[in-house]
Amino acid sequence: MAAHAHIEPNAHIRGLVEFRAGDGPMVRIPEGPVQIVLAEDSAVIHWEEGGAALNTAIPRTDYDEHVEAGRIVGPATGAGA
């Protein structure tokens, strides 16, 4: 196993996708390849930025809205990543 985390992209961010880190401001997930792991009630999004591996969990309802709007293309959307 590699010494550093490496994502295996299975989706793409293609628009404004943000999340709130705790009580802080909204943080934008950059457009580009991401790895998404879906659960019944959430979606965990993994991406790399500036050499760092980052991730967040968002409610499944938010994920579904991003997919419907075309801001996320990937798992469960019927489109290739």
54, 5 Cβ separation under 8 angstroms: no
Which band of pLDDT confidence, cut at 50, 70 and 90, is reported for residue 5?
low
Q: Average per-residue pLDDT in the chain?
A: 87
Q: Is residue 5 included in any domain, yes or no?
A: no
Q: Do the domain assignments include residue 39?
A: yes
Residue type, 4: H
What the block records as the tokens of 47 is 């991406």
Q: Is residue 48 part of a domain?
A: yes
**Is residue 24, in this structure, part of any structural domain at all?**
yes
In the chain, the number of structural domains is: 1
Q: In this structure, is residue 79 part of a structural domain?
A: no
pLDDT of residue 26: 94
Q: Are strands 72-73 and 52-59 parallel, antiparallel or unpaired?
A: unpaired
Whether residue 3 has pLDDT greater than 50: no
Strands (E), the chain: 11-13, 17-20, 26-29, 32-38, 42-49, 52-59, 72-73
| Mean pLDDT computed over 1-25 | 83
For residue 45, what are the domain limits? Answer: 11-73
**Which band of pLDDT confidence, cut at 50, 70 and 90, is reported for residue 78?**
very low
26 falls within a domain? yes
pLDDT at 69 over 60: yes
Q: Assess if residue 2 is contained within a domain.
A: no
